[in-house]
Amino acid sequence: METQVANEAFAPDARATAELLRKKTFNRNKWFYSISGIGRDMSYSLIDSFLLIYIQFGVSLTLAQFTTLSLIIGVGGRLWDAINDPLMGAVIEGSHFKKGKFRPWILLGAILCGLVIIVMFNVQSIPGWRFVVFMTVMYLLWESTFTMNDIGYWAMLPSLTSVKNERNSITTLTVLFAGVGAILAQGIIPQVTVGDMRAGYRFVAILIAAVFIGCQLMLFFTVKEPPRRKVENAERISLKKMWKTIARNDQVLWMTLSMLFYNIGSTMLIALAANLLYMEISYNGTLYFYVVVAYGVTMVAVNALYPALVNRLGRKRLQNVSIFVAIIGYAFIALMGWLPVLPFNIALLCLFCALISAGQSLFYMSCIINMANCVEYNDYKYGERNEAVVSTLRPFMAKFAAAMHTLIVTLVLTISGTFLLSQSISTLETQRDFFDKHNAADQAYYITQVQSYLKEYQGLTSGTPEYKAVAETVGARIDADDVLNKFQLDPEYVPALSDAMVLLIKDDGEHEEIGRLGSFDAASIASESGKVSLKIDDLKSGDESAANLHFRDQRTLTMRVWVRLAATLVPALMLLLALMIQRKKFFIDEDYYDQIMHEINNRTEEERSLA
C-alpha cells in the first residue's frame, strides 16, 4: 500500500521529467530536421523549375522530340508515380529498422537521387531521339529515388509532435528552410548557366547533389525519431490496408485535391519566368536573380510572421487574405507592358512577384499544417496514425502538379511558336559549349565553315520553302564534314551564329570582344595570345547580344499573349479553386483539432492505465 502511494506521488514528477526530455528532443529535432530541407528543395527546384529550361535552351531538339519528351515526363512519369508513391508509402509504414522508420529511406533516397542528378546533367553529347530515350530513363530514375527520400521526409514531420503550437513552429521552420533551398537554387542556376548553359548545368548538378546528400546525412545522424506505439511496432501494412486508409480519410483527400490546384498554379510563373524575361527584357541571368531575390526575401519574411498572423486571423481567414493578395500580383503582371502606366521592367516585376510570394507562402504554410493534421484525424477516427501512408498523397500530388504545369508549358511553347524560336538560343548555347572544347585550329576551321554556310542563307526568310531547301543542303554539308559533324549543329538555326561575339580571354583573365562570328577573320585566331570563346548573351559594348537578336527581337504578339496568360491567368484560377475546395470541404480548424487531440490524449492515458 505504501509503495502504491509512493508511486502515485512520484508519477507526476516522472511525467514532468519525461515531458521536459520530450521538449528538449523536439527542439533539437525541429532545427536539424528543418535545416536539412535546404538541400532537398535545391535538388527538387533543379528538376521542377529548370529541367525544361535546360532542355529548351541547352539541347537542340526538333519540335516532335521536345513534345514527346515533355509528354513522357508529364504522362509517363505520373503513371509510374501512381504505382511508385503509394507502394513506397506502404514500404516505409511497414519498416522496422534499428535506425528508425523514416531515416534509412531518407538517406538511401538522397544518395541514389544525387547520383542520378549528376548523370542526368553531365551526359550531354547525345543527339536527337537518343537524348529523348536517355532523359526518359534518367527522369524515371529520379522519380523513383526522390520518392524514397520525399515520402520518408514529409511522413516524419507529423510524427515529431502532435502539440498544436509545436507543429505550427516546426512546420513554419520546415517550409522556411525549404524555401531557402528553392531560392538558392533559383538564384544560383540562372547566374551560372545563362550564356554557358551546358557547362553551367554540369557544375550545378554536382554542387546541388552534394548539398542534398550532405543535408540528409545531417538529418540521419542528428534527428531522433519518437518511439513508436506498441500497436505500430507490431503493425504490417498491406496494399489493401494502405488504399483503405487513404480512401476513408475524406479530409486528406480534399486537401490533396486543393493542394493539387495550388501547386499547379503557384509554379506556373516560375516555370515560365525564363521565357517571360528573355522575351520581354533580355537573355540575362541577373534579371532572373533579381526576381528570385524579391520572391525569396518576401517568402522568408511572411513565413517568419506566419505564427503571429495565424494567431490573429485564424487559418481560414488568413487563407482568404493570402489568395486575394496573390491574385492582385498576378493581375498587375498580366497588364504590364500593355498599359503606358505599367511598363514591363524588372523593378515593377519584382514588386508584383513579392505580392504573389507573400500570398502564396502564407496559403501554402496553412495547407501543410492542414495536411499534417490529417494524421491526427486518422488516429481520432480509426485509431491508427499511418504517417507514411497519409503523407504519400502530398508528394504524389506535388509531382502530379509538376507534370501538369510541364504539360501546360509545353502546350504554350509549341502552339505559340515560342519553342521553335528559342531553338536559336539553344543552337547558340550548344555551339558555344562545343566551340570552347576545341583547339585554336579547329576553332578557326569552324568559323570559316560557318561563314560559308551563312552566305547560303542571305536574303532568305526563315520558314519559307527556299530557306528550308538551303537548310537541307547545308545539313548535308555538315554531315559530310568530319569536324563540323561533331558539333550537333542544326542547319535550321545556322543564321543565329552570325551574331555570336568572338571573345578573347587573355592570360590575365580580361575578356575582349573582338568581332561577330559572321564577319570575323578566322585567320587571326592563330596570332591571338589567349583563349578564344563565343559570347551569346549581354555584351560589354552595349550592343545587342545574339540571343536577343534571335529571340526577343523576333517575338510575335501571339507568343507574348500565350506566355503572359499562362503565367498569370492560369495561376489565379488554380489558386481560387484551391481556396474554394478548402472552404467548402475541409473542416479541421483550430477548435476541431483541439477536440481531436483531447480525445486522443484521453485514449492514450487509458492505454497507459491498463498497461
For 292-309, what is each residue's pLDDT tens digit? 889 888 988 888 888 888
* Residue 71 placed within a domain: yes
* Residue 4 placed within a domain: no
Which of 52, 47, 589, 577 lies closest to 266 in space, CA to CA? Answer: 577
* Residue 381 placed within a domain: yes
**Cβ atoms < 10 Å from Cβ of 238:** 10
250 and 300, same structural domain? yes
514 and 441, same structural domain? yes
* CA pair distance 63, 414, nearest whole angstrom: 7
> In the chain, what percentage of residues exceed pLDDT 70?
91
* Residue 343 placed within a domain: yes
Task: Give the amino acid at 57.
Answer: F
74 and 112, same structural domain? yes
Which of 487, 384, 381, 475 lies closest to 433 in space, CA to CA? Answer: 487
* Residue 225 placed within a domain: yes
Q: Give the distance between the most distant pair of CA atoms in the chain.
A: 107
3-state secondary structure of 102: coil
Q: What is the mean pLDDT of residues 272-294?
A: 91
436 and 357, same structural domain? no
* Among 144-148, 315-319, 357-361, the range of highest mean pLDDT: 357-361
3-state secondary structure of 122: helix
DSSP track, 518-560: GG--GGGGGG-SSEEEEE-S--TT-PPPHHHHHTGGG--HHHH
Residue with the three cell numbers 524579391: 294
Higher-pLDDT residue of 465, 87: 465
Domain boundary among 519, 535, 550: 550
For residue 387, pLDDT over 80 is answered with no
455 and 404, same structural domain? no
Do the Cβ atoms of 103 and 220 come closer than 8 Å? yes
Task: Give the amino acid at 607.
Answer: E
- Which region among 37-51, 170-184, 226-240 has the lowest average model confidence (pLDDT)? 226-240
Domain that holds residue 581: 26-417+556-610
Q: What share of the chain is helix, strand, coil (3-state, %, to 5)?
A: 80, 5, 15
For residue 395, pLDDT over 90 is answered with no
Query: What is the residue-averaged pLDDT of the chain?
Result: 86
Task: Give the amino acid at 589.
Answer: D
Residues making up the chain, counted from first to last: 611
CATH number at residue 579: 1.20.1250.20
3-state secondary structure of 512: strand
Domain boundary among 510, 529, 550: 550
* Residue 545 placed within a domain: yes
Domain count of the fold of the chain: 2
**Sheet with 511-516, side-by-side order of all strands:** 511-516, 501-505, 531-535
Looking at residue 10, its pLDDT comes to 47
* CA pair distance 96, 102, nearest whole angstrom: 9
* CA pair distance 467, 481, nearest whole angstrom: 21
144 and 82, same structural domain? yes
16-23 long-range contacts, Cβ below 8 Å, gap at least 24? none
480 and 350, same structural domain? no
Looking at residue 600, its pLDDT comes to 80
382 and 444, same structural domain? no
- C-alpha radius of gyration, the chain, whole number: 27
335 and 449, same structural domain? no
Domain boundary among 550, 576, 600: 550
224 and 102, same structural domain? yes
* Residue 19 placed within a domain: no
**pLDDT tens digits for range 431-482:** 999 998 888 888 999 999 999 999 999 989 888 999 999 999 999 999 999 8
360 and 291, same structural domain? yes
* Residue 8 placed within a domain: no
Distance in Å from the first CA to the final CA of the chain: 19
For residue 136, pLDDT over 60 is answered with yes
564 and 469, same structural domain? no
Looking at residue 606, its pLDDT comes to 74
Looking at residue 1, its pLDDT comes to 46
Looking at residue 292, its pLDDT comes to 86
